[in-house]
Every structure is written in structure tokens, then in C-alpha cells.
Structure 1
Amino acid sequence: MEEGAPQNNQLSRKCYPYPLLHNVHKYLPPPSVTCTLGYSCETLYTEGDFVYFHYGCDGFNDNGWGCAYRTLQSICSWIVGKRSANESNTAVPSIKEIQQTLVQIGDKSSEFVGSRDWIGAIEVFYVLDMLYDVVCKIIHIAHHDDLKKYANVLKKYFEEFGGLVMMGGDMDAASKGLAGIHISGNQVYLLVIDPHFVGIPESVQELVDRGYIRWQHTSEFVDSSFYNICLPQLK
């Protein structure tokens, strides 16, 4: 670990302008699809607690470029919740602290701090490894590949780790979290935690009603986009 890099217990204490929502994935029932005769229906969710981070939730305006940072913050809150409930949100890095971490490990130049540059699954991996000593597995899904083919990989991940997953792409540049999978025969849905919400959510139901927390069929993702999926390896 490089000297001067922020660690979990060195992150600045956070004060948010309003209470952030917790465990938004628990409010959405499985998709209403009929189980095909002879096939099993199974739904798996992120296990443990996490905080829903979204655009501007800490008073910092990252509208239009900070979605992967926000998903990373939600994953950090899941890790913190697994390790120490007493730390709450205080050990989740700010966007600036995320940028500083990437500079300090040599992944980015100093000009990156304070920029609006996007990050992806690889940077999420680096930050989780640096700040929390949590390694990740990266799945690369090529352009026009069938996302459904990776259903068993994701199912196994939720069975073994029950983590919160980050998903990012190129043509589909809207980074998002994945907090569950539903498999019904050959139908596969992913539970999307979308950080693009702007404003103060009145409730989880508002997020559901407006589609920020949603089940999304694998056919509804952009098949002309590649996707990288970051799977934190923490039990």
C-alpha cells in the first residue's frame, strides 16, 4: 500500500444533507412471470445492508458523469455494513477521495482529482482493493454477446457472496448496481439499482415507481454495448 493513500479508517467523516435510503432492493418483489412447467423459479438478492447513493446525494453535483462513483459508494456501504455496523456511512469515500485513491495508487495522473472523468469496473476494483482489501472478479461481456449466458455465473455469485455488483459498458454508458437475479426457466431478470436519480427521494416506492429500482430482462440491455461486471469477493 502506498504511503499517503487513504484507508478505510482514515476516510473523512461524512455528513449528508438528508437521511439516505437503505436496502432499497428489499422493497421490490420478484417479476410477475409464470414459472414454466418443468423449470424452477429462483430469486436471489444482495445479502446484508447497503445505502443507496445517487447523483448529488451528498450535496456534490455529479449529474451526468458520477454514476459509477455512486454505485461504488453503495458497494462500499455494503462492505462497511458487513464488517462494522457502527461505522455506518462514515467509512464510505467521497467522490474526491475516490479520485485521490486512484491517483495515489498510480492509476491516474494528478489532474484527475477534481475532474469529471468517468470511472469503470476496473477502477471500482482498484478502490475496493485499496480501501477495504477486497478483491473483485471482473466479467467482460463482449458486444452482441448474450447477457443471459452469464446467468449461472451471476446466480453462483449471489449464492456464494450475496454482494452488490457494479455493471458498466460503452454504448450503454449508464453505470448501475445489480442487487439480485431472477431466473424462471430460460427467462432471466437482473435487479438494477440505478444511481441516476436527481433530487431527494421521498421513499423507496418513489424510486420503484420511477424505474430507478427495477427488474430488467436481459433482452432489455443494449446488445451493441460491451459490459464489464465487477463482483466483490467478500463473504
Structure 2
Amino acid sequence: MGDKPHGFRGSRSWIGCVEASLCLDYFGGPQGRLCHVPRGAGLQGELERLYSHFGGGGGPVMVGGDADARSKALLGVCLGPGPEAYVLVLDPHCWGAPKNSSEIQAAGWVGWQEISTVFDPNSFYNLCLTSPNSKMQQHALD
């Protein structure tokens, strides 16, 4: 896109959720809608949004934070009858084609985690909620 130094391409440097959203738009991928959460403790208040996102066919949610440097992607949310809530977390370092879904779960690449253990209550977070690009979806239907 031209916004990074020449040496960035091909490097192992990471980009954040804001940059990921810009890349999705620039390269015509799924749409990325950003949601800023000032403190990890505030993610409890975003659970309904996440639940609606996934229930409405939304794709993975990329997560980036400041004090929390553990990269993660959310694939689902499960709301209990009480205050407990779980998110299905994928470690984005996972790559390749697994033989089956239990293989990546057994290796710890993906799993349900209680929300209070996944997010640092003092870190801010940016969430990039992905959804199908209507233009690309229309071309696929044509």
C-alpha cells in the first residue's frame, strides 16, 4: 500500500488491527469494521455486539491491544445465563491445513476461553470485525 518502509515487505513484522482493516479495504478483501475498547474490562459490554456479528454471518474478529501483546482472533462467542461468557480464540500463528479440527484444538491453537482470562483488564483493544464485501459477494453471484 506504500505506507510502510521498503524493508517491511517480506519481513516478520506485525501490523495492528487498524492497518489490517486498511489492507482489507485496499486489497478488496472482506470489509473490516473497527471497534475500539478503551479497557479490556469493557469487553464485557461488547459481547452482544460480538454475538450479533457472528450470528449475522460475520467473519473472524482480529484483536490487537497495547499492554496485551498476545495476538488472537475471535471465531465465536458463547453467552451463559449468568455473567460468564466464553470466546472461541484462534492463535493467528496457526498455519497450514490440519488433518482434522481436533488436531488444532489438541495442539492449543484454538479453544473456548472465559472472557475474563483472555483479555487484560487494563489494556486497550482494537477489534476488526470482518464481514463479506458486498461488491465481491455480488461478483460471486453473477
Given candidates 142, 146, 160, the residue that maps to 2:42 is: 146
Determine whether 1:217 maps to 2:105. Answer: no
Determine whether 1:115 maps to 2:16. Answer: no
In 2: Cα distance, 1:107 partner to 1:171 partner: 24
Change (3 A) 1:207 1:150: same
Amino acid at match of 1:168: G
1:162 positional shift: 2.8
Matches within 5 A, 1:1-235: 105-132=1-28, 134-185=30-81, 186-197=83-94, 203-220=100-117, 221-234=119-132
In 2: Cα distance, 1:208 partner to 1:225 partner: 27
In 2: Cα distance, 1:123 partner to 1:156 partner: 24
Change (3 A) 1:218 1:202: same
In 1: Cα distance, 2:35 partner to 2:51 partner: 13
Tell me the SS of whatever aligns to 2:14.
coil
In 2: Cα distance, 1:152 partner to 1:144 partner: 15
In 2: Cα distance, 1:201 partner to 1:141 partner: 33
TM-score by length of 1: 0.50
1:219 positional shift: 0.5
Structure 1 residues not aligned, in runs of 5+: 1-104
Change (3 A) 1:129 1:196: same
Instruction: Report how many aligned residue pairs link the two structures.
Output: 131
1:71-129 per-residue CA deviation (whole Å, 9 max, x = no partner) reads xxxxxxxxxxxxxxxxxxxxxxxxxxxxxxxxxx3321223223332211011111111
Amino acid at match of 1:190: V
Tell me the SS of whatever aligns to 2:22.
helix
Aligned-pair Cα RMSD in Å: 2.3
1:204 positional shift: 2.6
Q: Which one has more relative contact order, counting CA pairs under 8 Å at least 6 apart?
A: 2
Tell me the SS of whatever aligns to 1:128.
helix
Identity of matched residues, %: 38
TM-score by length of 2: 0.78
In 1: Cα distance, 2:126 partner to 2:57 partner: 18
In 2: Cα distance, 1:131 partner to 1:158 partner: 23
In 2: Cα distance, 1:136 partner to 1:196 partner: 20
Q: Which runs of 4+ in 1 moved over 6 A?
A: none
In 2: Cα distance, 1:173 partner to 1:214 partner: 19
